[in-house]
A and B are shown apart, each in its own frame.
Chain A
C-alpha cells in the first residue's frame, strides 16, 4: 500500500493504460492512416513499463531518466500518428496521452526530490523542471487541437504557429524593429530616467515629496493606457506617439519606487555618513542609491512589461502599416490566427528576454542583498 501511495501517478497511468486497452483503436474506424499494431503495442508497453518502474526503488536519477524517455517517446509516437488523421482521435488516444503526462509529472516529482551536490547540477535541474512543464503545455495543446480537430480559427496547434513563425521572419523582424527598437526602448529609457530624476529632486525638496508621493501612488493604479488615443492625436501615427505612451506609463512606477528606495537606508548608516562629514551628494551616491537599488530594479522590472504593453496597445489606435500591435489587429481581422499567435510568441520571447536582462543587471548590482546571497 505504501508503494502505491508512493507513486500515485504510476497507478493512475496503469489504470489509464488498461482503460485505453479496453477502448482501442486509437483512431476512428474510418481514419485514412490508422496506427500500426506495432506502434500501439510499443506505446502501451512503454507507458505501462515506465509506470511499473516508478514503483521500484531505483536510484532517483536513473528513475527520472527512464520516466523522461518513456513519457516523451510515447507521446511523440502518438503525436506523429495524428498526421493525416486530424480530428479522428478516439478516447483511447487521449487516455494514452494523459497516461504519458502522468509519467512526466512523476518524473518532475522525482526530479524535485533530487538534491544535487554540484552547482552546475542544481542549475540544470532549475532549468529542466520548468522546461518539462512548458513542453507539456505545448504537447497537450497540440494533442488537443489536432486530435480533437478544434477549428483552426479558434486555436491553431503550436506546430503550425511555429511553421508560420519560421516562414514570416522578415515581417516579424520589421514589426519588432518598429515597435521594440524605436518605441519601447526609447520610451523605456526616457520614462525611467525622468522618473528617477524627479525622484531625486523630490528627495531634496520635502514639500514636493509629500505632494507627489500620494499622487504618484494613485496614478499607478489608474488605467493610464487610456491616454494612448490622445498621444496618437498629438504626436502622429509613427513611433513617437507610442514612445510617449511608454514614457507616461513607466514614469510613475519609477518615481514611487525610487522615492521609497531612497528612504530605505537605516538611520544608523546615515549617522555614520554624517560622522564622516560627507555632504548630501556623497551620502546619496555612496549610501542611499546603493540601498535603493532593489527598489529601483523592482520598478525597472515592472516597467519592462508595462513598456511592451503600452507600445502594442497604442498601436491599436493608429500606426503606419508596420508594428506588432498593427499586425495583431489587422491579422485578426483577416482571421490569420496563426500569424497573431506567432506575433504573440515573439512578444512573449522579447518580454522574457527584456525581463531577464534586467534581472541579470539586478544580480550584478545588488549582489549584497539578502535575497541574492545564497537565498
Chain B
C-alpha cells in the first residue's frame, strides 16, 4: 500500500461513509419521532429528550430503522442462526447466488457465441446488432413474473426460470463487450497474421481471442451485477419460497422494515463479493497471459 493512498483514498471514503451513517441516524430520529410521540401520548409516558431519542432508535417496526438495528439484525441472521434455517440470511443468499451463477454462466456463453457470430458473419452483424440493442430497451425485469409463472405452468420450476432472467440481463454486456474486444486487433496486427499465412481459425484463436480477454472481464463485471438483480427480481413472484427477493417481498408484506434493510444489505454484500471475485480472476488471468501491471 502506497503511503499517499491512505490520505487520498481511504480517508475521503471513510469520511463520506461516516457522514452517511450520521445523516442516517438523524433521519431515523426525525422519521420515527412522530409515531413515537403518538405512542408515548397513548401510554401517557413523559420521557426526557435522551430517552425519547433512544426509543425512536429501538422501535420494532420503524419507518427508518437506525443503522445499529440493521447491523444487529444482519449479524444475528447471518452468524447466530444455523445455515439451513429459513430465517438465515446465508440460506437465502445461497439460493439467490446459485441462480445468479447459473444465469451468469449461460448469459456469458450466449453473449460470447453471439459476438463470435457477429464478428464473422456480415449478415448477422447488420441484422442482429440493432435488435440486441433494442432488446435491452425492453424492461425485462417487468416481464420476470410472467416468465416464472408461464414456465411454472409447464412444470419448469426452481432454479432455471430465475436463471433465465439473469441470462437475458447478462448476455447483453458480454455480447457488446466481446464484439468490441474481438474487433480490437488493429489492421497492422491482422496484416501480420496474413503474412504468417495464418488461417481464419488461427487468427481467431491466437490474435482475436487474447485481445478480447480484457474486454470480456470488464463486461463480465457488469454482467454479474446484472444477473444478481435479475435473480432477485425473479424471486419476487415465486410465492416467497426462498432467496433474497422473496425475503424482501415477505418483509414488505408484514412491514418488517428492519428485515427489508437486512435483505438489502445481504444483496449488496453478495454483489460486492461477486464483482470482487470476477475482478480477482481477471487479474490472475491477465498476469498468467503475460500482462504487465499498469
Contacts and interface: CB of A to CB of B under 8 A. Distances in A.
Query: Does A pair with B?
Result: yes
B187 interface: no
A155 B129 CA distance: 25
B275 interface: yes
B115 interface: no
A221 B271 contact: yes
B263 A355 contact: no
Given A305-B136, A332-B145, A332-B149, A130 B16 contact: no
Contacts of B16: 208, 211-212, 215
Contacts of A211: 12-17
A127 to B, nearest CB: 9
B174 interface: no
Contacts of B123: 105, 108-109, 112, 129
B127 A309 contact: no
Contacts of B233: 225, 313
Interface in A255-310: 304-305, 308-309
A16 B138 CA distance: 35
Contacts of A105: 123
A344 B143 CA distance: 7
A309 B9 contact: no
Contacts of B131: 130, 133-134, 137
A324 B146 CA distance: 13
A229 B145 contact: no
Contacts of A218: 272
B161 interface: no
A283 to B, nearest CB: 23
A350 to B, nearest CB: 8
A316 interface: yes
Contacts of A233: 63, 252, 255, 257
A223 B17 contact: no
B273 to A, nearest CB: 11
B127 A108 contact: yes
Contacts of A348: 134, 137-139
Contacts, number: 159
Contacts of A133: 127-128, 131
Interface stretch (B38-46, B74-82, B200-208, B224-232): B224-232
B288 interface: no
Given A105-B123, A223-B268, A233-B255, A313 B149 contact: no
A112 B248 contact: no
A226 B130 CA distance: 31
Contacts of B271: 221-223
A132 to B, nearest CB: 7
A355 B137 contact: yes
Nearest to A130: B130
A305 B139 contact: yes
Contact of B229 (A108, A225, A325): A225
User: Could you say which of A221, A225, A313, A352 has the most chain B C-beta atoms within 10 Å of its C-beta?
Assistant: A221
A351 B138 CA distance: 6
A309 B229 CA distance: 11
Interface string B7-50: 01100111111000000000000000000000000000000000
A266 to B, nearest CB: 20
A interface bracket (residues with beta carbon within 8 Å of B): 35 or more
Nearest to A227: B264
B125 to A, nearest CB: 8
Contact of A153 (B12, B153, B249, B272): B153
Contact of B122 (A112, A225, A230, A312): A112
Contacts of B127: 108, 112, 129-130, 132-133
A313 B142 contact: yes
Contact of B142 (A134, A229, A344): A344
B63 A234 contact: yes
Contacts of B138: 344, 347-348, 351
A295 B261 CA distance: 32
A22 interface: no
B111 to A, nearest CB: 17
Given A108-B127, A133-B131, A223-B268, A332 B139 contact: no
Contacts of A208: 12, 16
Contacts of A129: 123, 126-127
A154 interface: yes
B146 A222 contact: no
Interface in B236-256: 236-237, 244, 248-249, 251-252, 255
A124 interface: no
A313 B234 CA distance: 11
Contacts of A194: none
Given A153-B153, A154-B153, A232-B252, A316 B139 contact: no
Interface string A208-221: 11111011001011
5 contacts: A105-B123, A112-B125, A130-B126, A308-B137, A332-B149
Interface of A: 105, 108-109, 111-113, 126, 129-130, 132-134, 137, 153-155, 207-212, 214-215, 218, 220-223, 225-227, 229-230, 232-234, 304-305, 308-309, 312-313, 316-317, 324-325, 328-329, 332, 337, 340, 344, 347-348, 351-352, 354-355
* CB-CB nearest 6 A-B residue pairs: A351-B137, A211-B12, A229-B252, A211-B16, A133-B127, A210-B12
Given A155-B150, A352-B137, 17 more contacts: A108-B126, A133-B131, A134-B131, A210-B13, A221-B275, A225-B232, A226-B232, A229-B248, A229-B260, A230-B264, A234-B63, A309-B139, A312-B139, A332-B237, A344-B142, A348-B134, A351-B138
